[in-house]
Structure 1
Amino acid sequence: MFSTDHDARQMAEGFRWNCCHLPPAEAPFYFRNGGKAAMIRLLHAAPHTDNLDVFVNGISVFQNISYTDLSSYVRFPAGRIQIDVFQRGRAHGPILTVQYHLIHGGYCTVAVTGTAAKLVPVGMYDRPAADPESRSIRCVHLSPDSPALDFVVQNGPVLFSGVPFQTVTRYIQVRSQKIDMELKAAGSTAVLLKVPKITLHAGESATLYGLGFVNGSPSLTIKAAPFPAKAPPS
């Protein structure tokens, strides 16, 4: 029923060249490029960091993103992009700059993690479940002061073991509609966080982002994000 994988760096690097192939949704004309487009969204996962304004290839794409916010997807031309992250208001230069290559049809998430003193980008591609009846799950370690983590089902198996900071696990299929999760330091029985009743709908894949601090505030938490993402209200 479960398998494990915690090869973070390969997943993060793979984002640069291997976004998944899905039909892009409708989007404003200024993000079109002869139909060759990708979808990109941003997660603010850097505690104690001001709200963020984010430019992609010099275009203001995400504005005033606060900690734990996950933006909607925005269509952008496929190909090489430069992401510049500014503190809200852009009084100074970018606090983080990173380049990626977006593949046509890809749905991609870029998480800005670390702390205000040292921001770290983590790129990943988002994939649907294998079929309309299945459910998939993966985990992303974005807690700056946490040790390597075990993502565990309460009173059940370890889904992902020894996941280091900045790691994106691969997706695994699960049967349960609801999962009670625990985060533990790798190889330890001590529970760092209990997260009851994570709901997994048929046909969706969910990403569980581990955010915050083990020691300090804001405290360790999990943010669950389904894919396909729910459409925003019109």
Structure 2
Amino acid sequence: MPQNKSYFQKADMYDYLSNCYKYTDPNKYITYYKKHLKYRQLAEQSISETRLPEQNGVYKPALIRLIHASIDASEVDIYVNSIRVLKAFPYKEVSTYLPLPAGKYQIDIYPAGNMVSTVLSRKVVIEDGKVYSLIFSGQAKNLKWLAVEGQLFVPRGEAKLRFIHLSNDTPTVDIAVKDRDVIFSNVSYRKATSYLGLSPMNIDLEVRIAGSHNIALPMPEVQLEMNNIYTILLIGSLTDGSELEALMTLG
């Protein structure tokens, strides 16, 4: 058994034990929870320390993160090559970046605490040194998968911004400065724009129905700080009574 898988299993075991004593024995709860944290850290460290073939003296793992953008999929557990890496992962959550060697990976998503059948299962191929956001969106009964490459470099003193459309019942949109020009045009569902280099600023943006001035979502006081890269994700629903939202992340 790979060492990192063993660590994850021990972390799960101590997590279970800590919850058993959460309300009956505070000392045992704390003891088991500390062990859970210990093995969780060891598991993540063992993955991040996987060595890759050397390229010009530098090891360059790929970085992946996962984003839960399905409004009705509830919490999920996510497995990478049969190793659980995220537990009870909720809607609107963005994971930290996980370093992985280049290669092919099986990613399975289950309802939290239930491994009977997946809600989504995909194989992904990642390359050395690249950065990926792996996103699932849409309705729980018909989840859609989107893998988007990212960037980590921004010229000093500048900022970068891109937009990803993840609301399945919202038509094609434009992203514009409030009452002014469009900066990203005709962005359809499950499409990502390129990054746009910008000066650091605080700015009011709005999501418009493409080709019109009809505002689907105002985005006031968007803060773009120097030396940072940002992604704005359009999530939620425009028509079913749920809230349409803009989720802003670094990267």
Q: Shorter-chain TM-score: what band?
A: 0.7 to 0.9
Unaligned runs of 5+ in 1: 1-26, 228-234
Structure 1 residue ranges (4+ consecutive) displaced by more than 2 angstroms after TM superposition: 30-33
Q: Which has the higher helix share?
A: 2
Contact conserved, 2:199 with 2:226, CA < 8 A, in 1?
A: no
Work out which of the residue numbers 109, 121, 133 in structure 2 matches 1:109: 133
Q: CA deviation at 1:129?
A: 4.5
Number of the residue aligned with 2:15: none
The separation in 2 between residues aligned to 1:206 and 1:179, in whole angstroms, is: 14
1:181 equivalent to 2:186? Answer no
Give the residue type in structure 1 aligned to 2:233.
Y
Number of the residue aligned with 2:104: 80
Number of the residue aligned with 1:58: 82
1:96-121 alpha-carbon deviations (Å, 9 max, x no partner): 11121111122211111011110001
Unaligned runs of 5+ in 2: 1-43, 53-59
Number of the residue aligned with 2:119: 95
Contact conserved, 1:128 with 1:203, CA < 8 A, in 2?
A: no
Number of the residue aligned with 1:156: 180
1:21-59 alpha-carbon deviations (Å, 9 max, x no partner): xxxxxx512343323522211110001112011111111
Give the residue type in structure 1 aligned to 2:174.
D
Contact conserved, 2:176 with 2:183, CA < 8 A, in 1?
A: yes
Contact conserved, 1:129 with 1:136, CA < 8 A, in 2?
A: no
The separation in 1 between residues aligned to 2:176 and 2:235, in whole angstroms, is: 16
Q: Work out which structure has the larger RCO, using CA pairs closer than 8 Å and 6 or more positions apart in sequence.
A: 1
Contact conserved, 2:165 with 2:189, CA < 8 A, in 1?
A: yes
Contact conserved, 2:200 with 2:226, CA < 8 A, in 1?
A: no
* 3-state secondary structure, aligned to 1:165: coil
Q: Identity over the aligned pairs, expressed in percent?
A: 26
TM-score by length of structure 1 reads 0.81
Contact conserved, 1:113 with 1:142, CA < 8 A, in 2?
A: yes
1:115-164 alpha-carbon deviations (Å, 9 max, x no partner): 11100011112213431211111000000100001111102211111111
The separation in 2 between residues aligned to 1:215 and 1:124, in whole angstroms, is: 26
Number of the residue aligned with 2:240: 216
Query: Would you say how many aligned residue pairs link Structure 1 and Structure 2?
Result: 201
Contact conserved, 1:32 with 1:77, CA < 8 A, in 2?
A: no
TM-score by length of structure 2 reads 0.76
1:49 equivalent to 2:73? Answer yes
Q: For the aligned residues, what is the CA RMSD?
A: 1.5
Number of the residue aligned with 2:142: 118
Contact conserved, 1:40 with 1:75, CA < 8 A, in 2?
A: yes
The separation in 2 between residues aligned to 1:129 and 1:153, in whole angstroms, is: 24
The separation in 2 between residues aligned to 1:119 and 1:218, in whole angstroms, is: 17
Number of the residue aligned with 1:146: 170
